A and B are shown apart, each in its own frame.
Chain A
Amino acid sequence: MFAIPSPSLSLLPFMSTSDSPREQPVPTTLSYEQVQELGRELDEMRARTVAKLGSEDREYIYKIIKAQRGLEITGRALMYLPFLPPAWLAGVGALVLSKILDNMEIGHNVMHGQYDWMREPEFNSQVFEWDTVCPADQWKHSHNYMHHTFTNIVGKDRDIGYSLLRMDEGQKWNPYYLGNPVYAFFLMLLFEWGVMLHDLEIENVVKGKRKWHDVKPLLGGMWRKAGKQVLKDYLIFPALTGPFFASTVVGNVGANLIRNLWTYSIIFCGHFPTGVQTFTEDETSDESQGEWYVRQMLGSANIEGSPLFHIMSGNLSHQIEHHLFPDLPAHRYPELAPEVEALCEKYGLPYNSGGFFNQIGSVWGKIFKLALPNSLTGSKPTVGVIVERKKVAA
């Protein structure tokens, strides 16, 4: 009932069809040698950046931390002024910004090991915790390991649809998916909880593929982490504002909600806009480093925006660069982006990048479209680039 028949989709104002793969019917082909050479060039790019890491990067992350702590304290303090609506709203705003910075530019990136080289115990990926209900160790498994290793391999990358949505033509349709947009909407509102439950692989538990003793320790971890988060935002801080308990709860719920909306949107723009390619397990078995790089580039999409926009998205607006070099400090991605784009051009690869509204529009377009079976929408899995995986005899 929420699905829009596909002919009307292209009429939606936010839909961009310019980079639709259907308009490039002949896929680009990359030869084995080209892939190896591309891999070497990216390895060099990485080495050049690693050699540069030092005080500048340290100062950057401390500056962000300072800003985040300042915003958090401001936000908490302004909750004492609910009788001055603009001040209270500013407080919610400060808290939203603080949580976004904490989760994205700090948490996500630190837990990728981007700052491990500083050998600073508090910025070590092994020990860092973030201001959200998902325990860091579980997230590192589902994200750093599962998602970053098996990026966009249908059936292996559980980020394709979060075992809830149909986000790729390659996923088999069934009537459950008629609710695709509704599920997506609720996932957006409750995103931090969705992220928390991700590592449980509930669908596998239901199917009986996952046993209770695998899941039990995860539940324990969630209970401990989420318990502390809930206690802090919905009990301790509200209680500390005394008579303003209720308005502080509302403010904190609001801040968490808006943060969810934002992080969901940025993250969905990373892999689901039009033109992003997915892969099968067969295509990707025993990949070389070069082939892995190509998959990361074809499977990710960037969002264009101002420097502030990049910071507030944890530089995940540079999703392509992030997937190529997940453990390089993210604030280096903007300087790498032109080089990566030039490489793409050199090899005839798409560099999927667009404005925020363009990308998020195309994501929602896909969410609606894939609620219906491929036969109704006329779409089938598309391939934009073919990667030759063996030396072709000359």
Chain B
Amino acid sequence: MTLHQKSRRPRLPSTFSLLSLFEAMATPHALDRYLELVDPMTTVRDLRAEITAVHRSTRDTVTLTMRPTQQWRGFEAGQFVQVGVVIDGVRHTRCYSPSCSQYRDDGRIELTVKAHPEGLVSQHLHRNAREGLVVSLSQADGTFHIPRPRPAGVLLISGGSGITPVLSMLRTLLDEGYSGDLTFLHYAYTESDVSHRTQLDAIAAAHDNIRIVFAYTDQEQGGDLHGFFGAEHLRSAAPWYADAETYLCGPPGLMRGVENVYADLGLEDRLHLEEFAPPLAVVTGDVGGEVSFTESGKVGDNSGLTLLEQAEEAGLTPAYGCRMGICFTCTSVKTSGCTKNIKTGETDSEPDKKIQLCVSVPVGDVAIEI
């Protein structure tokens, strides 16, 4: 190790100065602004990825294998990345969790995207993703991952497209030769809605310590469990749950259900979760007041949508990333008024406070510094 590092050290300054010479020549533009015109995958600073395989596993999901450029620093199972694609001239960015093992040896990542009926980006990817398409990518982020040393028992619970981060956890643990108790409990409407089902069956067949449990909410035959999550599901899927750590990702209904059961059992500390369904603005009662965007001087009636959407409707283009309250790209200063965080339900009436536009709705008059 030490030797290896030493032998590399003297070469660093020379490559560095050559790069900075090129950067000085390209000033004021970034070197990548020249390189991308020749080959979008040859970059000095920007992280991008090329789609190398497209697989449509169910009628509304598509699995993409992507080769990131050399800046990619890898990820921990459970984390997410932001992927950007151009649709009708506009770059749209969304968060997805890789579903592959973090040790994949070709260094590629695999994303499973569910086409939501209203989802612009997911619909687009489902329809148009093809080999060779280059998308923009962010480094992995997020605190949802399994700590080291790995816990003795692991229960993974997912629903719908929430399968991706926990599937990545499962595959990663397998690659590590995990020998503890592991149950993978997955909720879907019906059997045909489960993506990666054949791979999951194969995994269960090959490992004694691993149980794959399919629960169907709209189908009464087949699978292992039926209906919604409850204490009975928990007991039958993983009787040792009280000594294990549970990782959960799925639609809001499932999340609330699991959280309630764990709260009743007094096991909140053992539950780790990631919210992946895009928050919907809950319009309760009458929506009133005015939203003013102080820097651009625009004012509009509060429509009940999130402040990010209201700003966009007013013709502004605030920066955003995930649009679901996790990346903080959209953070802006609320100068006055009361906002409600639709993820947490918390209201906030402190002036000059930084809030996330994408998960905040105005309650009455609000002024935002954009």
Residues of A whose CB lies within 8 Å of any CB of B are 50, 53-59, 65-66, 69, 73, 113, 116-120, 122, 129-131, 225, 228-229, 231-232, 236-237, 240
Instruction: Please tell me if B204 contacts chain A, counting CB pairs below 8 Å.
Output: no
A331 to B358 Cα, complex, angstroms = 32
Please name all residues of chain B whose beta carbon is closer than 8 Å to the beta carbon of A117 when the two chains form the complex: 89-90, 317
Q: Is B3 an interface residue (CB 8 A)?
A: no
Scoring B24, B92, B93 by chain A CB atoms within 10 A of each residue's CB, the highest score goes to B24
**Do A236 and B88 touch across chains, with their CB atoms under 8 A apart?**
no
Query: Is A228 a contact partner of B27 (Cβ separation < 8 A)?
Result: yes
Contact of A120 among B27, B34, B91, B315 (CB under 8 A): B91
Complexed CA–CA distance, A59 and B92 (Å): 17
Q: Mark B33-77, 1 if CB is under 8 A from A, else 0.
A: 110010000000000000000000000000000000000000000
Determine how close the nearest CB of chain B comes to the CB of A176; give it in whole angstroms: 35
A225 CB contact (under 8 Å) in B28, B33, B92, B93: B28
Q: How far is the CA of A122 from the CA of B31 in the complex (A)?
A: 12
| A229: chain B residues within 8 A (beta carbon) | 27-28
> With the chains together, A116 CA to B370 CA distance in Å?
14
Q: Is B21 an interface residue when CB atoms closer than 8 A count as contact?
A: yes
Q: How far is the CA of A240 from the CA of B25 in the complex (A)?
A: 10
Selected from B25, B30, B86, B89, the residue in CB contact (under 8 A) with A232 is B25
How far, in Å, is B111 (CB) from chain A's closest CB?
20
**Residues 79 to 101 of chain B near chain A (Cβ within 8 Å):** 86, 88-93
Known: A69-B34, A122-B30. A236 touches B90 (CB 8 A): no
Nearest chain A residue, comparing its CB with the CB of B33: A122
Q: Pick the contact of A237 from B25, B37, B90, B92 — CB < 8 Å?
A: B25
| A–B pairs, 22, beta carbons within 8 Å | A55-B88, A56-B89, A57-B89, A59-B89, A66-B37, A69-B37, A116-B317, A117-B90, A117-B317, A118-B91, A119-B90, A119-B317, A120-B91, A122-B33, A129-B29, A131-B28, A131-B29, A228-B27, A231-B24, A232-B27, A236-B21, A236-B25
Residues of B within 8 A of A130 (CB): 28
Interface SS of chain B: mixed
Task: Report if A228-B24 is in contact (Cβ < 8 Å); known contacts: A65-B37, A122-B30.
Answer: yes
The 4 closest A-B pairs by CB, nearest first: A129-B28, A58-B89, A54-B89, A55-B89
Q: A56-B89, A120-B91 are in contact. List 6 more A-B contacts (CB 8 A).
A: A55-B89, A66-B37, A113-B317, A229-B28, A231-B24, A232-B24
Least Cβ distance of B219 to chain A in Å? 41
- Within the complex, which residue of B24, B25, B86, B89 is in contact with A53, where a contact is CB–CB below 8 Å? B89
What number of B residues sit within 8 Å (CB to CB) of A? 19
Chain A residues whose CB sits within 8 angstroms of the CB of B91 once the complex forms: 118-120
Question: Which residue of B has the minimal Cβ distance to A327?
Answer: B315
| Chain B contacts for A57, CB-based, 8 A | 89
Residue in B closest to A240 when the chains form the complex, CB atoms? B25
Residues of chain B contacted by A237 (CB below 8 angstroms): 25
Give CA–CA (A120, B91) in the complex, Å: 6
- Enumerate chain B residues within 8 angstroms of A122, measured Cβ to Cβ: 30, 33
The CA-CA distance from A50 to B37 in the complex, in Å, is 27
Contact A228 B28 (CB under 8 A): yes
- Cα(A73)–Cα(B31), bound, Å: 13
For B4-38 the 0/1 string (1 means CB < 8 A from A) is 00000000000000000100110111100110010
Closest to B93 in A: A119
Tell me whether A58 and B37 are in contact (CB under 8 A). no
- A72, closest chain B residue (CB): B34
Q: A243 CB to closest chain B CB, in angstroms?
A: 19
A59 to B88, CA, bound (A): 10
Of B21, B25, B28, B90, chain A has the most CB atoms within 10 Å of the CB of B28
User: In the complex, which residue of chain A has the Cβ closest to the Cβ of B28?
Assistant: A129
Within 8 A of A (CB), among B89-148: 89-93
Q: Which residues of chain A are near B93, meaning CB under 8 Å?
A: 119
Query: Closest Cβ of chain B: how far from A226's Cβ, in Å?
Result: 11
Interface string of B305-319 (1 = CB under 8 A from A): 000000000010100
Cα-based distance from A260 to B64 in the complex (angstroms):
50
For the complex, what is the distance from the CA of A117 to the CA of B315, rounded to whole Å?
9
Minimum distance in angstroms from B87 CB to a CB of chain A: 9
Bound CA–CA A225/B24 (angstroms): 12
Q: Of all chain B residues, which has the CB nearest A126? A: B319
- Complex Cα distance, B92 from A95, in Å, reads 35
**Closest Cβ neighbor of B21 among chain A residues:** A236
Say how far A371's CB is from chain B's closest CB, in angstroms.
37
